[in-house]
Structure 1
Amino acid sequence: MGKYHHGDSAIYESMVRMAQDFSYRYMLVDGHGNFGSVDGDGAAAMRYTEARMSKIAVEMLRDINKDTVDWQPNYDDTEREPAVLPARFPNLLVNGATGIAVGMTTNIPPHNLAEVISAIHLLMDNPDATVADLMEVLPGPDFPTGGIVMGKSGIRKAYQTGRGNIIVRAKVDIQDQKNGKQRIIVTELPYMVNKAKLIERIAGLARDKEIEGITDINDESDREGMRIVIDVRRDASASVILNNLYKMTLMQTNFGFNMLAIVKGAPKVLSLKQILIYYLEHQEDVIRRRTEFDLKKAQARAHILEGLRIALDHIDEIIAIIRQSQTSEIAKNQLMDNYGLSDKQAQAILDMRLVRLTGLEREKIESEYQDLLKAIADYKEILASKDRINQIIYEELMEIQRKFGDKRRTELMVGEVLSIEDEDLIEEEEVAVTLTHNGYIKRLPTTEFKSQHRGGRGIQGMDVHDDDFIEHLLTTSTHDVLLFFTNAGKVYRMKAYEIPEYGRTAKGIPVINLLGVNSGEKIQAVVNVTGDASASDNYLFFTTVKGVVKRTPVQEFANIRSNGLKAITLKDDDELIGVTITDGHQNVIIGTHDGYAVSFDETTVRSMGRTASGVRGIRLRDDDFVIGFDVLKPDSNVFIITEKGYGKQTPAADYPIKGRGGKGIKTANVTEKNGHLAGLTTVDGQEDIMVMTNQGVMIRFNIATVSQTGRATLGVRLMRLGDDGQVATMAKVDPEPEVDETVATDATTEAPVDDQTVNADATTTEPTTDSNDSNE
């Protein structure tokens, strides 16, 4: 080792890496003993290990003794060493490179040998091939540890410019267990990631509660391969935990390409095509120099054989000359003079053994001579033809490909991976979002509310003061976008997961702390938008307290500033009551505080811009105002609830579609017993209904428990209210299986209340006008 480097330690460390199957894609050293592990364990001292060149490493040195490369002095000028190796395959790409020293850095990833050779073949067949063409056969790096490369844009940029970044992820599998739990199985890691340190990092994150839901982690790796098992808590999402692991650990890494190489003594950043071109130029030089060496050797041997052939033709005379000469020098000179031989030929004759005089040996000499003549002619043809040189390179690379080519280890995932955003780290689940009259908002799982029989008192939903109560409640996904519409007609935007989660009885956080709501503004409606709003074909349908309606494409609300945007232009005495999403071809029903309802086709409301004021949807009677509206489908029922807790559901067919702007028909008989209408919505018969009072009490029941009655009926008691209690608002939620009633410490449940269907006054329906008076 001392002949070629001044430090044996540096040489040994380099040799150890060449013997590690997790460091080199194709190991150049065949090691025997402890050469370290992917856990970061160091190799044994050099006195305990043995090493030899691997078979593929021999191909790096093949023909080095044929003057195929230049030689240079070693570090102390006592020995000579090759400036570069013949390299029958491009090791720079195949095994990659890291660092050149002397202040220069390079970072070239390993690649699959078979794919690299296919790319060279493609370039030889088509010198005008583009990087895109080359990527058809060489799609990207192939790391010894496998893993998954996310997307190809980074690879393409690196191959085109020499610099770029790619995202490499561990290969994982999420397995479902019989006990309902899930496991994350890690079988491959990104390149150069220390497995032991990764496991330690994951354990630390779980222990410190930075990643919730991990119950255990075990390393089950063996000689068959890597296997890290991460156990997930039953109520946790394995995919969310995995996204956290990608973001917070080295299960996802960035590999930065910097394809810097020394070209003719100078550093240069190379594209993929340039690397392949320079390699081909190097191979052409190697083949040419090797051929020249073989030609000179063949010519020298043929020259000797020509002399031997002359000697065999005049063997008796030559023997006589040798016997008569007093010294070998005299004999050699006589042979040169008499037969026109060169010094080397004459010396070869003198050195020839007598056994070569036999007939068989004569045939061997003649056969060898003829073969050499053919070889010489072939060598000259090679040197005179670039096509022959390229053919040799092509065939020799094909031989290497056949002997050492293997399958790709690293998976290339089609499609780009975006950076892991907060949304990727939040489990997608159904949640309830509540907003109080005084502007306190919170998020909580819908499972906090168990389904009860109608007529129960419910459980305490939150602690409220005498001057506050829950005013808005909706169910949504944590990943959905929520649009907050204020009484002043402005709209604000927020993701559901951005709303802090609180317990069932907690009050929440002031909404002004989350949104830039102006002083004097109050949130009147909250709508969740699923998916990409900018690509939506749906509409937002607006309704105001004064009965004005407007229809605007959802796309108009794709980009909402932090300080909000105007959603509708309102008159001074009007406020926004509600907003819903439609497909643009629905019927709509509007209900009022005094118990009237009007239904019409939404297409009678033309599509308007975001800041438009709208048109009249219902003509209100004196002192009446709108309390709710919804999309009315033919097979749905209309559900209403009064301030005193009475409610019913009525078939949609009982509400004929009339013209926009009419006074409406009677939908509930308002009496002192049942109170005015508190809410109106449509149901399909499967939903659960959540009802909230001004005292903060909530109850959840399935709509199927509510009797279906005619439009001109009072309905049944749905909820018993305490003193001064009134229904404040309600919301539809997805149904859940009915369970045993849960009794909270601050509330009780009651047996179901018998249906109390009461006929309303026989003459309550008023004529409906079809006026379409504009409010613009």
Structure 2
Amino acid sequence: MDIGTVQSVDIDNEMRTAYMDYAMSVIVSRALPDARDGLKPVHRRILYAMHDMGIRSNTAYKKSARIVGEVLGKYHPHGDMAVYDAMARLAQDFSMRYPLVDGQGNFGSIDGDSPAAMRYTEARMDARAEEMLVDIDKNTVDFIDNFDGTLQEPMVLPARLPNMLLNGASGIAVGMATNIPPHNLREINEAIVYLIDHIDTIDDITPEDLMKFVPGPDFPTGGVIIGTEAIKQAYSTGRGRIIMRGLAHIEDMRSGRYRIVITEIPYQLNKTTLIERIAELARSGKLDAISDLRDESDRRGMSIVIELKRGAQPKRVLNQLYKYTALQSTFGVNNLALVDGQPRLLPLKRSLQIFIEHRQEIITRRSQFELDKARQRAHILDGLLIALANLDDVIKTIRESADADEAKTNLVTRFKLSEAQAQAILDMQLRRLAALERMKIEEEQRQIKERIAYLEDLLANPKKILTVIKEDLQAMSDKYGDPRRTRISPDEAEELNDEDLVPDEPMLITLTERGYIKRVSPSVHRTRSRGRRGASGQTMRDEDEVIMMINARTLDTLLFFTDKGKVYSERVYQIPDANRTDKGIPLVNVISLENGENVTAAVPVPDFNLANYCTMVTTLGKIKRVELSEFSSVRNSGLIAMNLDNDDTLGWVRPTSGKDEIMIITAQGRALRFEEKEVRAMGRQAGGVRAITLRGKDRVTAMEVVEPEGSLLIVTENGYGKRTPLSEYPSKGRGTGGVYTIDHTALPKIGHIAAARVVQTKDEITLISAGGIVLRLKVKDISEQGRSTRGVRLMDILKGDSVAALARLEKTSAPASSMETANGEDAVEETEEMIEENGEE
């Protein structure tokens, strides 16, 4: 038996050669995208097959099985599921930033559900996919034989869109892998335009320059990218490690509980897997603060609701979710793509350059193709015009010829035409001999000549081709561009700052004499009528009284000033949130007070650059100004804010601009107005100067900053009050005694002045008594009276109780029209109103 020729081979070389052939086949033909159109062969063949079948974005859907069969039979001899899975992914809006297939039916979900069988689903090209194939019939790309040599397929698509960066890619080859993140169309196009505009100095363009236009990847599922350093590294080298986080916010529930709502998750994360992981952690006790977990996602968007137990700290739980679940994930950027058939690691600039070079070649080849066609048509039109100019002779020549071949030869010989021109004359219809038709031929010839001149100029000037690319990109941005979905946190730490997780909301902070502090939303105190008793605002301990109420926002920095002249600092959101009737927690849990030290003033600071100075006044009438920036960084043990005399205490602090006017109000009814500039700015450890001259045992009870068109609201210990226009207070010199601001003869009845604030008519105020009763009023409901009057009853004070503090609620932070309460406490307050009306305790 003849077994053929036997050859001896080196097994090492044979294995090496076979493996390398296999490896290169996988790399080039399966796993890696082409850097020009960003497509792998299977995706390119799917789109080209749909194009060949005439399936456009404006045509009817076709069965997916029919499309898969076309791809398998003509271009891609692999498994049908490999083709169908690739096509399904092109239709998934959670996988593709800009889907290239318009699917109808079940093409899978973010929950990990598989697409329905191909016999059930239908598909057609998306409009963006058509842009990938535009001009493919104009000799813009090279074609190669298909697997059996019977058909031709494109090596690359013309790709009017920079698809590789827009939709990204992922794949595992032999010994290498690619993982390219998706980006925003508008941002990528702006970066390409920037490169084109600076094409002569392109080598000088840095990743930082491009990041002005492309701040980072833009994932279809949104989320948050933590830090910019990893993005810069990925854009500079082609490799990087990007930290992704889902987007979540915290909502209040009834009875002081919270829930975390996740609305966006990291790219390529299975939502069901995330929920199962959270449930597993809750069952195991690792996340013991979770009381309920459910998925409320619907067509309007994603919503994973995590309800927390009473007393749980929502920010802490959210940080645990980031730590123990895939709610925080890593995207390993590896921009590996085929360049001239070879795998190359591509930085951002090089990726954009390759697309520009590809489009230059496409437009050059398209222009050359159109130029050749235009020249051919112009040649034919020249022949037709010669025939029309010699119509009788042409007709006579044709009639005298024996057949068509002889007629063509005679026309070529007699009129010096080419064979193509002669054939066109013979094919010309008789209706073209009409005068109007002749004019159309002449107009077409004129347009063709203009087109030829344009194309010749375009091909002769490469920079004009770049202009065409820019125009195409602008058209694509206008047509398909959309806003960025993924947010980028500039914080380079992998842990988000707490303020990134806290909504910016108005808050009321109360402080008691025994040092209990809490914060509540202003909406829990409903606006009431003047003269009412008010609602219970705080459960008081024995012999404890409320001494202070501060209006601030959650993201403000709260500066605490003490009776010993020191200052401490804490963010408002770090103060525990509580119910209206809760007593709060000891202040020593918030700031590190010394023994015997008490907080006497607190100033909320939204931004240390918004005010120039911090103005302080003591109970014995001394005043001092310090630059606010001195307190922008306060250590845990506090800082000296003002040196005090032995018998004096620091009582009031306000931020000022340096051009304000100051109002000092005393307990016995004196008020002094003077210009801030009369007090020079001092260092932190200075002692201050005299602000007002006090008489007898009088003490300062308030310090305010004058506002245009404002009024001075006075509230006495027994609940009487009034507002007086600031225009009635003449400006005096610093250190004088001031003028009366209330009927001092009525002090035994109405009580000494307990608090005073400068207010506007649109504002509201909140009064709180030493016994914890709270009353919220509209300023416009408080009568405006002269300086020497006693005022009217604002609050019904019980025997043994007295007004302790007054907070101003500006309209921007607490709408006066709001009549709703938080935490579902409407019923409680309605019951309290009934008790008041019946005269019961």
TM-score where L is the length of structure 1: 0.62
Q: Is the 8 A contact 2:181 2:219 kept in 1?
A: no
How many angstroms does 1:614 deviate by?
1.5
- 1:233-278 CA deviation, whole Å, 9 max, x = no partner? xxxxxxx99xx99x97999987553224578999764323434667
Counterpart secondary structure, 2:517: strand
- Counterpart mapping for 1:477-516 below 5 A: 477-516=553-592
Match of 2:169 among 82, 92, 97: 97
Amino acid at match of 2:565: G
Supply the AA of the counterpart residue of 2:557.
V
| Cα displacement string for residues 46-73 of structure 1 (whole angstroms, at most 9, x for unaligned residues) | 999999999969999964659xxxx9xx
Native 8 Å contact 2:96 2:220 kept in 1: no
Which secondary structure does the structure 2 equivalent of 1:219 belong to?
Answer: coil
Q: Is residue 536 of structure 2 the alignment partner of residue 463 of structure 1?
A: no
Please state whether the residue corresponding to 2:714 is helix, strand or coil.
strand
From the superposition, tell whether residues 276 and 698 of structure 1 become closer, same or farther in structure 2 (CA, over 3 Å).
closer
Partner of 2:5: none
Sequence identity (%): 37
Residues 255-404 of structure 1 aligned to structure 2 (within 5 Å) = 255-261=331-337, 269-275=345-351
Amino acid at match of 1:598: L
Distance 1:641 1:283 in 2: 76
User: 3-state SS of the aligned residue for 1:228?
Assistant: coil
User: Counterparts of 2:782 and 2:579 in 1: how far apart (Å)?
Assistant: 29
1:744 is aligned to 2:814: no
**Cα offset for 1:691?**
3.0
Deviation, 1:579, is: 0.8
Give 3-state SS (helix, strand or coil) of 2:836's partner.
coil
Cα pair distance change 1:256/1:450, threshold 3 Å:
same
Cross-structure match for 1:41: 113
Q: Name the SS for the 1:274 alignment partner.
A: helix
Preserved CA contact (<8 Å) 2:262 2:304 = no
Alpha-carbon offset, residue 644 of structure 1: 3.2
Where do 1:542-691 residues align within 5 Å? 542-633=616-707, 635-667=709-741, 668-669=744-745, 671-691=747-767
Structure 1 stretch displaced more, 275-284 or 717-726: 275-284
SS in 2 for 1:423: helix
Deviations 1:467-514 (A, max 9, x none): 210000122223332211111122222222222222222211001101
Given the superposition, is the C-alpha separation of residues 505 and 88 from structure 1 closer, same or farther in structure 2, using an over 3 Å criterion?
closer
Name 1:16's counterpart in structure 2. Answer: 85
Counterpart-to-counterpart distance in 1, 2:341 and 2:116? 36
User: What is the deviation of 1:118?
Assistant: 10
Structure 1 partner of 2:483: 411
Map of 1:699 onto structure 2: 775
**1:219 maps onto 2:283 in alignment:** no
2:85 partner letter:
V
- Give yes or no for contact 1:450–1:742 (8 Å, CA) kept in 2: no
Tell me, in whole angstroms, the C-alpha distance in 2 between the residues paired with 1:45 and 1:658: 88
Counterpart residue number, 1:228: 301
Give the equivalent residue in structure 2 for 1:429.
Answer: 505
Q: Show CA shifts across 1:643-675 (max 9, x none).
A: 333333334344321110113334333653333
- Measured in 2, the distance between the counterparts of 1:138 and 1:595 equals 62
- Which of these two proteins has the greater Rg computed from alpha carbons? 1
CA shift for structure 1 position 524: 0.6
User: For residue 63 of structure 2, what is the aligned residue in structure 1?
Assistant: none
Contact 2:144/2:155 (CA < 8 Å) preserved in 1? no
Output one character per residue of 1:164-187: Cα deviation in whole Å (capped at 9) or x when no partner: 577889999xxxxxxxxxxxx999
With over 3 angstroms needed to count, the CA separation of the structure-2 counterparts of 1:620 and 1:26, relative to structure 1, is closer
Q: Per the alignment, in what secondary structure is the counterpart of residue 758 of structure 2?
A: strand
Query: Secondary structure at 1:620's aligned position in 2?
Result: coil
**Distance change (3 Å), C-alpha of 1:556 and 1:11:** farther
**2:199 equivalent among 106, 110, 126:** 126
| 1:523 paired to 2:599 | yes
Q: Give the counterpart of 1:722 among 790, 798, 809.
A: 798
Tell me, what secondary structure is at the counterpart of 1:714?
A: coil
Flag the 1:628–1:204 CA change in 2: closer, same or farther, 3 A: farther
The residue that corresponds to 1:755 in the other structure is none
CA separation of 1:548 and 1:281: change in aligned 2, threshold 3 A = closer
Letter in 1 for 2:604: N
Q: What is the distance in 1 between the residues matched to 2:190 and 2:698?
A: 82
**Between Structure 1 and Structure 2, how many residues are aligned?**
624
SS in structure 2 of the partner of residue 728 of structure 1: strand
Task: Indicate conservation of the 8 Å contact 2:228/2:490, yes or no.
Answer: no
Question: 2-side partners of 1:445 and 1:250: how far apart?
Answer: 33
> What are structure 1's unaligned runs of at least 5 residues?
173-184, 221-226, 233-239, 287-357, 369-386, 752-776
Output the CA distance in 2 between the equivalents of 1:94 and 1:652. Answer: 62
Q: Does 1:439 align with 2:508?
A: no
Amino acid at match of 1:615: V
Give the 3 Å change call, closer, same or farther, for CA 578–137 of structure 1 in structure 2. closer
Give the secondary-structure state (helix, strand or coil) at the position aligned to 2:749: coil
Cα RMSD, aligned residues only: 6.3
Moved more, 739-748 or 666-675: 739-748
Q: Tell me how far 1:441 sits from its aligned partner.
A: 0.5
- Counterparts in 2 of 1:145 and 1:573: CA distance versus 1, 3 Å: closer
Deviation at 1:594, TM superposition (A): 3.2
Instruction: Rate the CA distance shift 1:748–1:271 in 2: closer, same or farther, 3 A.
Output: same
Query: Quick one: structure 1 residues 666 and 196, their matched pair in 2 at CA, closer, same or farther if it must change by over 3 Å?
Result: same
C-alpha spacing 1:472/1:284, structure 2 compared with 1 (3 Å): closer
Q: 1:476 to 1:135 in 2, by over 3 A?
A: closer
Secondary structure of 1:612's counterpart equals: coil
Q: TM-score, normalised by structure 2?
A: 0.58
How far 1:731 moved relative to its partner?
Answer: 2.8
Q: C-alpha deviations, 1:425-445, integer Å up to 9, x for none?
A: 434433321100000001122
Is 579-588 or 104-113 further displaced after alignment? Answer: 104-113
Instruction: Say whether the 8 Å CA contact 1:131–1:272 is kept in structure 2.
Output: no
CA distance in 1, matches of 2:191, 2:713: 69
Structure with the bigger percentage of helix: 2
Classify the secondary structure of the residue corresponding to 1:700. strand
SS of equivalent residue, structure 1 residue 450: coil
1:494 aligned counterpart, secondary structure? strand
User: CA separation in 2, counterparts of 1:624 and 1:31?
Assistant: 81
Determine whether 1:450 maps to 2:523. no
Does the 8 Å CA contact 2:611/2:656 hold for their aligned counterparts? no
**CA deviation digits over 1:185-221, x for unaligned, max 9?**
9999975455777899999999x9999999994533x
Give CA deviations for 1:331-385 in whole Å, capped at 9, x if unaligned.
xxxxxxxxxxxxxxxxxxxxxxxxxxx9999x9xxx99xxxxxxxxxxxxxxxxx
> Whole-Å Cα distance in 2 between the matches of residues 112 and 646 of structure 1?
62
Partners of 1:99 and 1:448 in 2: how far apart? 55
Distance 2:832 2:99 in 1: 68
Amino acid at match of 2:806: M
Partners in 2 of 1:187 and 1:622 — Cα distance?
64
TM superposition shift of 1:542: 0.6
Shift of 1:640: 2.6
Q: Which amino acid aligns with 1:21?
A: A
Give the 3 Å change call, closer, same or farther, for CA 590–51 of structure 1 in structure 2: closer
Partner letter of residue 228 of structure 1?
A: G
Instruction: Tell me: CA distance 1:437–1:189, structure 2 relative to 1, closer, same or farther (3 Å).
Output: closer
1:127-164 CA distances to partner (integer Å, 9 max, x unpaired)? 64255699599958897958699899676654333245
The answer for the alignment partner of 1:371 in structure 2 is none
In structure 2, how many angstroms separate the alpha carbons of the residues matched to 1:631 and 1:617?
14
The question of 1:109 aligning with 2:178 is answered no
